[in-house]
Amino acid sequence: MQREKHDVVIFGSGPAALSLALFLNKHKVDVAVAITNPLKSFWKYDITQSAGVSDVINELGVHPILDTKKAVLQYKKNVAGTEYKEISDLYFKRYSEDSLDSSLFSKLIKASIPFYVVDDSFEISSVDGKNVKEITARLKSGDKLLFKSDVLVLAGGSEMRLPKNLRYTEKVFSRFYGEGIVTQGHLFDETRIVFDNNLFPGGYLYAGSTSDETFFCAVSSVGNPEFLKQYPSFLSTLFQESFEGDIKTIFSGVGVSGYRFSEYSNLFFIGGAAFLHDPIFGYGLNYALLSAHILSRAIVLDNFSLFTNFYEKTVSQFNDMLSFKSILRDPEEAELKKLFSLLSGEPVEDDKINSFYDLFLS
């Protein structure tokens, strides 16, 4: 059996794991990453502009594209084709050197951060009171690998397979199944968000174009396999336009919103593995980067309350968001009118709508 010792060992192959490794390496912390192969990334990663995320992106030295577009919210039942203000989107393209995962991975190699290619089964092999001491993983070659580390981080996304004897607590607020298609050609000048509870229960359809491609991402709490099977006729009915682009790629995955934390004091979940997705849209990239950044500071300063405070605050914000879920998903006609008044810059006298706007759309 191969044996390795590092101050910090991270399990995960996505943005949370890779960015944490880079932040720690910058502070000369001895860190290693256990990654699964192949690396996975989504075609397009929008970054919602939550507080602090721009600084984190700058510090990582990655370069998202800035794209400002008008957004159109469509409601099947209430109002169709309602326009709202311009939104500024930061995003990374997939299958290019500038995709987020490729950029982070090449930085990892450049910084000579050790990484081990493992399968997704691993187990805690020894503990000391409230601390995990050793963890055993399996290398792709089939050999066993024993890690010793002071801090262990699980960053394998919301569907990560967890060891049996891992003592943790979790709660799910919402679960999002995302199924998407990228087609050839620029089809829209604006970004479209369609809410229709019959077609996307608990979710929405998100569609937009770059200069040469268009993407459609169906998000719902139950998944919508019909979307991928019959997408041209499905979309034509929905938008009353025809769609002729060739499919370049399809993508899918699950995002879970809620909380998950371990009772072990030296073991931390970050990003999707910590269920850090907002409970209305399922956005999680900003939380993956922020949680990695804050955990890196907590490790460097040996002050883990920095991370637990951030985590508790975020989960409590998710709770606030949950109480507004129906306003965007299935609004009353009057609520929708007030919401669009706010979006077009007119003040409204409704505390609930104002708080909702501040939380999501301001």
Ligand X SMILES: Cc1cc2nc3c(=O)[nH]c(=O)nc-3n(C[C@H](O)[C@H](O)[C@H](O)COP(=O)(O)OP(=O)(O)OC[C@H]3O[C@@H](n4cnc5c(N)ncnc54)[C@H](O)[C@@H]3O)c2cc1C
Residue ranges that bind ligand X, judged by CB under 6 A? 11-17, 34-36, 40, 42, 44-46, 118, 120, 122, 155-157, 160, 178, 180, 217, 251-255, 271-273, 277, 283-286, 288
Provide CB contacts within 8 A for 362, sequence distance 6+. Answer: none
Nearest approach, Cβ of 165 to ligand X (angstroms)?
15
Nearest approach, Cβ of 22 to ligand X (angstroms)?
13
Nearest approach, Cβ of 97 to ligand X (angstroms)?
18
Nearest approach, Cβ of 346 to ligand X (angstroms)?
30
Nearest approach, Cβ of 332 to ligand X (angstroms)?
28
With respect to ligand X, which residue has the nearer C-beta, 215 or 336? 215
With respect to ligand X, which residue has the nearer C-beta, 252 or 341? 252
With respect to ligand X, which residue has the nearer C-beta, 110 or 161? 161
With respect to ligand X, which residue has the nearer C-beta, 7 or 120? 120
With respect to ligand X, which residue has the nearer C-beta, 12 or 279? 12
With respect to ligand X, which residue has the nearer C-beta, 54 or 341? 54
Nearest approach, Cβ of 229 to ligand X (angstroms)?
17
